[in-house]
Structure 1
Amino acid sequence: MTGSHRAAATARRSARADAPGRRPGRTRIRILLAAALSLLVLVTAGAGWVYLKLNGGIDTFGADGISDDRPAAASGGQNVLVIGSDARTGGNSELGGGDSNDIGRSDTAFLLHVYADRRHAVAVSIPRDTLLDIPPCKLPDGSWTGTRRQAMFNEAYTVGSTAEGNPACTQNTVEHLTGLRVDHTVVVDFKGFSALTDVVGGVEVCVPQDIYQQDLNPGRATRGKRLFAQGVQNVSGQQALDYVRIRHGIGDGSDIGRIKRQQAFVGSLIKKVKSDGLTPTKLLPLADAATTSMTVDPGLGSADKLVSFAMSLKDIDLEDTRFVTLPWRYEGARVAIVEPDAGALWAALKADRTLDGQDAGSGGGDAKDDASPDTGSPKDTDAQVPAEDISATVHNGTAVTGLAARAAAALEAAGVTVTGTATASSQDHLTTVIEYGSGRKAEARTLARLLGTGELRPADGGGLDVVLGQSYADRAPGSGATAAPVPSEVPAEVADGARTADEDLCAALSYG
């Protein structure tokens, strides 16, 4: 009986194996597919967990502090303001010293311009002691300050005297200074910077001479122990932070010299990241380290946006990643802006021209939509409209008496028909704005050329309205201003002073 059962079972297995459509190993394939599906679920769940973790660590600052009086958005390139904060909150006092209850300050800042072709980038460092105008900024109680004339640049971050600082005010100041719209702002503090250098396994730097504790902290009574030996070395964590903060004991001990070393450091960091591979797998750990102590504008306030932006930079070669300092000169113990050199630099970035004059404004696969914001039709051409064919109204947006009449006279002398002058609804406009109706962008561009200033903004209706700001008052006839014409190219001394991300680490590390 038992032998009969076994024979029957064997016969059934043989029949199943020989049946049409049956393939040997099909069960094994099913097992493999199930395993692969399980792995995919696990990986997807893991990625989701990582993104949730990153999103939970990203802080944003309120957009309500960003001025309404802003430059027009660029059609292709992007501008990203990067601020290094020396705020002592959240464990930063352990790394940078100081009182954890102190107000937040900006220790360093640069404006990164990513060209529309996504093949070139320039980072412009702005010395923290630069004398400039700080436009109206929002205070914690909701009120707005007045314009502060000839203040130091890093004071913008302290407006409101809060521990976390005021990145929106710094953004307003940079927009007012450059005439460029800042698309994104990123603030990195001591803790985030230190963690970032740890994750990449350290960054190579060059130290021009032995550095001691007293060089980092001049208040010390003794020289202390040696922090850095002269030469090339790999630094991370606290040591990397010390390197970028050292000011005294190298060169002339100036902030300008420190900026040169910071530029070399950022270039070396970029080189290290790119050599490791700019992929989402590599970027996620970097993003995790950075977001723990990073504050960004709402437009970058999620993990996918941060990673997406980083990935958009992957095709920029080290040779085409350049660092330059805002054209400057000493004015006593402070830094003054050199014009018209600075104006030429901002104009080049606005036109997507590289420092050596190349047009980098086309061919960018990730560039912004090139449709006209008022009609959705292709962008207006650069064809000039004769002044005689233009009619516009002129409004005075400043407290300068008679400015609208002066501007109207200048435009009429050029052939423009001015249909009326009036006082604007507010008199605190820093930037001259030309609002144009549908199909009149080319006319607005001609008005901006005639006035020598003006941000173009689309508006409802078919009108053409000029709202004069301080930018016109400073150059208007009778203003007493002696503004020199802006050069068509970046001056050679500015372009030649730039360094690339792959430059010799030990080259040009100090001013003086």
Structure 2
Amino acid sequence: MTGRSTVGRRGYQAQRRRGRGSRRRVVRRSRLRILAWITAVVVVLGVTGAAALAYRLSSNIRSVDINSALDKERPAPADNGAMNILILGSDSRAEKTKTGKEPARSDTAMVVHVYTGRRQAALVSIPRDTLITRPSCTTASGAKDPGGARKMFNESYSVGGPACAVDTVERMSGLRMDHYIELDFTGFKKIIDKLGGVTVTTSKSIKDPASGLNLTAGTHTLNGTQSLGLVRTRKSVGDGSDLGRIQLQQAFVKALLAQVRQGGVLSNPARLFSLADTATKSMTTDKDLAGTAALVRFASALKDIDSSGLQALTLPVGPDTKDANRVVPLTTESRQVWEALRTDQPVPTTATARSMGDKGSTGALITP
């Protein structure tokens, strides 16, 4: 016996011809799979080893039961295969309070709408200084905060944690948040370092004494600390507001996507597992997403989205007439944004034409 298949030579060759086209498609798709490492782990380590690694990743993740925390009067889930995700970046470096505890803060908030077909997405950043009507929320101590009008958006997280943040966004948008993902900034730095840095090109020098970021115009591979400094810098770019920082964050997300796609991470099982291990240790998710199997399904749903399929914008806002340091949603334009996502359509350019958030060229400061 030679160990060959019992299929005849001609049948074998016919199978090869029929399989060539499909194999090419599989190869192209496999280069994009975020969690393709699972197959390699199973092959190399066997089912028992793979199960142990799956358990390890699952045990890393913190989760919150948002469905139980919120009332039943939530928007209905989309019935067309689309998906909405609230992503928050939390700041653990907040100032000490009088009780010695560190109040949780969210510096970054993004609603990601994944369109039907899972090849395109819209990313809507919500400025933290946006004045909104906040719903009543349950605090960490179990008390009820009444909420009310003219509350800063990022106070929702500070007051009532993830559930309050989700409730606030759902009431603003009319969109059901299918998933919640929170990444702390310490973990963000570690993830970038595990990737070997993110390469960006700056069209102008960026210097921020507060973070120690000092970049000349040109191409740089940023480590974790530099990357965090870039996405958090505010006063050193544009008009010094949170709106300019959001544009930088959106440009960095696209650079990060390009780095993951092109950097060989997806074809290196050991490196990708190390990255997944670091990422999951830094994550808090909704309960439905807090297992390795759920994360695999979730990642698989996003595998075909790259920077060219990502529409990034800021919630349309204008200046608040009573406080120059705050912004308010533009009623008509914001409704256009949320309605487009509810109906699974691209956000029209008319929605952002008057918005303070998408004027200027801060985002153009960096390119992948």
> TM class, shorter-chain normalised?
0.7 to 0.9
Aligned counterpart in structure 2 of residue 172 of structure 1, from 167, 175, 185: 167
Runs of 4+ in structure 1 deviating by more than 6 angstroms, as ranges, are none
Aligned counterpart in structure 1 of residue 88 of structure 2, from 83, 86, 110: 83
Aligned to 1:269: 256
Contact 1:206 1:230 in 2 (8 A): yes
Aligned to 2:334: 342
SS of the residue 2:255 aligns to: helix
Aligned to 2:364: 508
How far does the alpha carbon of each residue in 1:283-342 deviate from its partner, in whole angstroms, 9 at most, with x for none? 533321111111111011012211221121122243221110000112121011112011
- 1:227 Cα deviation (Å)? 2.8
- 1:107 Cα deviation (Å)? 0.6
Contact 2:130 2:152 in 1 (8 A): yes
Aligned counterpart in structure 2 of residue 68 of structure 1, from 57, 69, 72: 72
SS of the residue 1:124 aligns to: strand
Contact 2:122 2:312 in 1 (8 A): yes
Aligned to 2:148: 148
C-alpha spacing 1:128/1:118, structure 2 compared with 1 (3 Å): same
Give the Cα separation in 1 of the matches to 2:192 and 2:334: 32
1:114 aligns with 2:101: no
Aligned to 2:297: 308
Contact 1:67 1:172 in 2 (8 A): no
- 1:274 Cα deviation (Å)? 2.0
Aligned to 1:159: 159
SS of the residue 1:304 aligns to: helix
- 1:226 Cα deviation (Å)? 6.2
1:233 aligns with 2:237: no
Give the Cα separation in 1 of the matches to 2:319 and 2:282: 34
Letter of the structure 2 residue corresponding to residue 171 of structure 1: V
- 1:493 Cα deviation (Å)? 2.3
Aligned to 1:195: 190
Structure 1 residue ranges without an equivalent (≥5):
1-22, 26-38, 89-96, 161-165, 218-224, 357-488, 500-504
SS of the residue 2:247 aligns to: helix
Contact 1:279 1:311 in 2 (8 A): no
Letter of the structure 2 residue corresponding to residue 336 of structure 1: V
C-alpha spacing 1:184/1:226, structure 2 compared with 1 (3 Å): closer
Aligned counterpart in structure 1 of residue 277 of structure 2, from 288, 303, 327: 288
Letter of the structure 1 residue corresponding to residue 278 of structure 2: A
Give the Cα separation in 1 of the matches to 2:230 and 2:240: 13
1:44 aligns with 2:47: yes
Taking structure 2 as the reference length, what is the TM-score of the superposition? 0.78
| Larger Rg, first or second structure (1 or 2) | 1
Aligned to 1:246: 233
Taking structure 1 as the reference length, what is the TM-score of the superposition? 0.57
Give the Cα separation in 2 of the matches to 1:213 and 1:336: 27
Give the Cα separation in 2 of the matches to 1:247 and 1:42: 46
Contact 2:83 2:178 in 1 (8 A): yes
SS of the residue 2:156 aligns to: helix
Give the Cα separation in 2 of the matches to 1:153 and 1:297: 20
Contact 2:57 2:280 in 1 (8 A): yes
SS of the residue 1:273 aligns to: helix
The percent identity for this pair of structures is: 39
Give the Cα separation in 1 of the matches to 2:246 and 2:307: 19
| Equivalent runs, 1:374-389 vs 2, <5 Å | none
Contact 2:257 2:306 in 1 (8 A): no
Structure 2 residue ranges without an equivalent (≥5):
4-41
| Equivalent runs, 1:9-24 vs 2, <5 Å | none
Letter of the structure 2 residue corresponding to residue 77 of structure 1: A
Q: CA RMSD in A?
A: 2.9
Aligned to 2:176: 181
Contact 1:81 1:182 in 2 (8 A): yes
Structure with greater helix share of residues = 2
Aligned to 1:56: 59
Give the Cα separation in 1 of the matches to 2:335 and 2:343: 12
Contact 1:81 1:184 in 2 (8 A): yes
C-alpha spacing 1:354/1:50, structure 2 compared with 1 (3 Å): same
Give the Cα separation in 2 of the matches to 1:173 and 1:66: 11
